[in-house]
C-alpha cells in the first residue's frame, strides 16, 4: 500500500484527511514541522501532503528538507494564502490545494502524482 | 504610571495582518468541516450506521466557527459580549470542556501527547451564559495547549469559595515576557517570543475571554514566566452578577 505523510497543525483537519485517505493509503500524520521531519527520517513516503503554516518548522523549510534528503517524493502543499502557495511551487512543491478544498480534488491530485491506489502513476504525455 | 505597549506586541501592519489571520482562522474549521462531512457522506453511502463521535466532531467545528464570528464582530465593533444568563453547573461545564479537548487531542492523527486534566469539585452551580463561559475557558485552554510543547501538562483547576469561583488554567509553555504580561489580554496581542509563523492566530482569544469574564462581574489575571509557563486565573462572583 502506498504511504502518504500528512502534516497540518489542526487536529480536526488531520482527523478528516487521515480518515478519508486511510481507506486507500497507509497514512501517517504529523502535527508540526518537527514531527514531519522525524517521520521523514524514519521511512520513505510516496507523497507528502503539507500545510504551509505549521508550528516549529514552516512548510517552505520542510520542502527544502525533503529536497535535501535527495528523494523524489512528490509534495502537495495546502494553504489559504495564494502568495505562499506560489512561493512553495517555486521552491519545488509539485502541486497545491487552496483551502478550503474538496476531497475529490485532493484525490485527483494524488492520483496524478502517484497513481490511483494499487496502480502506477499515469505516464506523462509524449513530448511535442 | 503610563505603560507603553512594547513594539513587539503589535504587528507592523495591524489591519492587513489581522485580516490575513482572520481569513486563516475561518478557513481552518471550514476545511475541517469539508473533510468531516465527506467522511460522514461516504459512511452513509456505504450503509454504515451514523457515528455519534463524528457528529459531535462536526458540531464542534460549527461551534468553533460561531465563536470566531462572535469574537471578530465584537473585536471589530469594540462591543461588549452579549450575555444570556441562566442557571448552570460551572464544574460540569469545565469538566466537559476539558474532556472535549482531551477527546480532540486523542484523535490518533493529532498525537500532541499533551496531558490535560481537570481538578475541582464535581458540581458548582451559578448563573451565567453557558455558551460564552464555555467560549472563554475554551479560549484559555486552547492557548495553553497551543503555547505548550508536546507532552506538556495543562491543568484546569476550579476552586469554590464562599464569595467566588476561581478558575485557573496552568500550562508549561513558552510563557510571556514579563514586560508584556499587562498587554497579554488585549486584542491582537502577540508575545515577542511567539512569532506568527509558529503560532498562528489573530490574538483575540484571551481578550475575548477577559471581556466575557468581566461581563459576568469577574476578573482575569495572568502570571507567566518565559519558558516555564503561564497561569491564567479567572475569578467569578459566586453570586453571579452578569451586567
What confidence tens digit (pLDDT) does each residue in B46-85 have?
898 888 888 888 988 898 888 888 888 887 666 778 889 9
pLDDT, residue B13, reads 66
Residues of B in contact with A85 (CB under 8 A): none
**CB pair distance less than 8 Å for B107 and A16:** no
Q: How far apart are CA B170 and CA B151, in angstroms?
A: 14
pLDDT, residue B2, reads 39
Best B20, B27, B31 residue to mutate vs chain A (most A CBs within 10 Å): B31
Q: Which of A12, A31, A53 sits opposite B36 (nearest CB)?
A: A12
Residues of A in contact with B112 (CB under 8 A): 11, 31
Query: Does residue A56 sit within a domain?
Result: yes
Task: Report whether pLDDT(A102) > 60.
Answer: yes
pLDDT, residue B240, reads 58
pLDDT-flagged residues of chain B (< 70): 1-14, 76-78, 105-112, 240-243
Query: Does residue A123 sit within a domain?
Result: no
Calculate helix-pair angle for A11-21, B52-77, nearest 10 degrees.
150
B219 close contact with A: CB closer than 8 A: no
**B59 to chain A: closest CA residue:** A12
Q: For residue B138, give the nearest of B63, B76, B193 by alpha carbon.
A: B63
Confidence of residue A96 (pLDDT cuts 50, 70, 90): very high
B105 close contact with A: CB closer than 8 A: yes
Whole-complex ipTM: 0.83
Q: How far apart are CA B191 and CA B177, in angstroms?
A: 7
Query: Does residue A54 sit within a domain?
Result: yes
Residue with cell 461551534: B63
For the B7-237 domain, the top CATH level (class) is alpha beta
CATH number of A35's domain: 3.40.50.2300
Buried b (16+ CB within 10 A) or exposed e, B42-57: eeeeeeeeeeeebeeb
Number of domain units in chain A: 1
Query: Does residue A127 sit within a domain?
Result: no
Mean pLDDT confidence for A16-43: 87
**CB pair distance less than 8 Å for A101 and B31:** yes
Q: CB–CB of B165/B126 below 8 Å?
A: yes
Q: How far apart are CA A15 and CA B27, in angstroms?
A: 16
Average pLDDT value over all residues in chain A? 85
CB pairs < 8 Å spanning A and B: 90
What's the pTM?
0.72
pLDDT, residue A6, reads 94
Q: How far apart are CA B36 and CA B34, in angstroms?
A: 6
What confidence tens digit (pLDDT) does each residue in A33-86 have?
778 888 888 888 999 999 987 766 677 788 888 888 767 889 999 998 888 899
What confidence tens digit (pLDDT) does each residue in B169-191 have?
999 999 999 999 999 998 888 89
Q: For residue B91, give the nearest of B118, B70, B55, B68 by alpha carbon.
A: B118
Structural domain including A108 reads: 3-114
Amino acid at each position: 500500500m502506498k504511504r502518504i505523510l500528512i502534516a497540518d497543525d489542526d487536529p480536526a483537519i488531520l482527523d478528516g484527511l487521515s480518515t478519508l485517505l486511510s481507506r486507500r493509503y497507509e497514512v501517517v500524520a504529523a502535527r508540526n514541522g518537527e514531527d514531519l521531519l522525524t517521520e521523514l527520517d524514519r521511512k520513505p513516503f510516496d507523497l507528502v501532503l503539507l500545510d504551509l503554516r505549521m508550528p516549529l518548522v514552516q512548510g517552505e523549510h520542510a520542502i527544502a528538507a525533503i529536497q535535501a534528503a535527495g528523494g523524489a517524493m512528490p509534495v502537495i502543499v495546502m494553504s489559504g494564502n495564494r502568495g505562499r502557495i506560489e512561493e512553495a511551487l517555486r521552491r519545488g512543491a509539485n502541486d497545491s490545494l487552496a483551502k478550503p478544498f474538496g476531497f475529490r480534488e485532493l484525490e485527483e491530485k494524488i492520483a496524478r502524482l502517484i497513481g490511483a491506489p494499487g496502480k502506477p502513476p499515469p505516464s506523462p504525455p509524449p513530448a511535442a | 504610571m503610563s505603560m507603553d505597549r512594547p513594539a513587539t506586541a503589535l504587528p507592523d501592519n495591524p489591519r492587513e495582518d489581522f485580516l490575513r489571520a482572520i481569513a486563516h482562522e475561518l478557513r481552518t474549521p471550514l476545511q475541517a468541516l469539508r473533510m468531516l462531512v465527506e467522511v460522514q457522506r461516504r459512511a452513509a453511502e456505504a450503509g454504515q450506521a451514523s457515528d455519534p463521535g463524528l457528529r459531535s466532531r462536526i458540531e464542534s467545528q460549527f461551534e468553533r466557527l460561531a465563536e470566531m464570528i462572535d469574537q471578530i464582530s465584537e473585536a471589530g465593533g469594540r462591543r461588549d459580549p452579549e450575555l444570556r444568563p441562566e442557571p448552570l453547573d460551572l464544574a460540569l461545564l469545565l469538566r466537559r470542556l476539558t474532556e472535549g479537548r482531551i477527546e480532540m487531542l486523542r484523535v490518533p492523527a493529532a498525537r500532541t501527547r499533551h496531558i490535560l486534566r481537570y481538578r475541582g469539585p464535581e458540581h458548582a452551580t451559578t448563573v451565567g451564559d453557558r455558551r460564552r463561559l464555555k467560549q472563554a475557558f475554551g479560549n484559555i485552554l486552547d492557548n495553553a495547549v497551543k503555547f505548550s510543547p508536546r507532552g506538556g501538562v495543562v491543568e484546569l483547576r476550579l476552586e469554590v469559595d464562599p464569595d467566588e469561583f476561581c478558575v485557573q488554567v496552568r500550562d508549561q509553555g513558552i510563557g510571556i515576557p514579563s514586560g508584556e504580561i499587562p498587554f497579554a489580554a488585549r486584542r491582537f496581542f502577540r508575545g515577542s517570543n511567539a512569532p506568527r509563523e509558529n503560532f498562528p492566530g489573530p490574538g483575540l482569544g484571551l481578550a475575548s475571554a477577559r471581556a466575557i469574564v468581566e461581563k459576568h462581574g469577574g476578573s482575569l489575571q495572568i502570571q507567566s514566566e518565559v519558558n516555564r509557563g503561564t497561569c491564567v486565573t479567572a475569578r467569578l462572583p459566586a453570586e453571579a452578577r452578569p451586567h
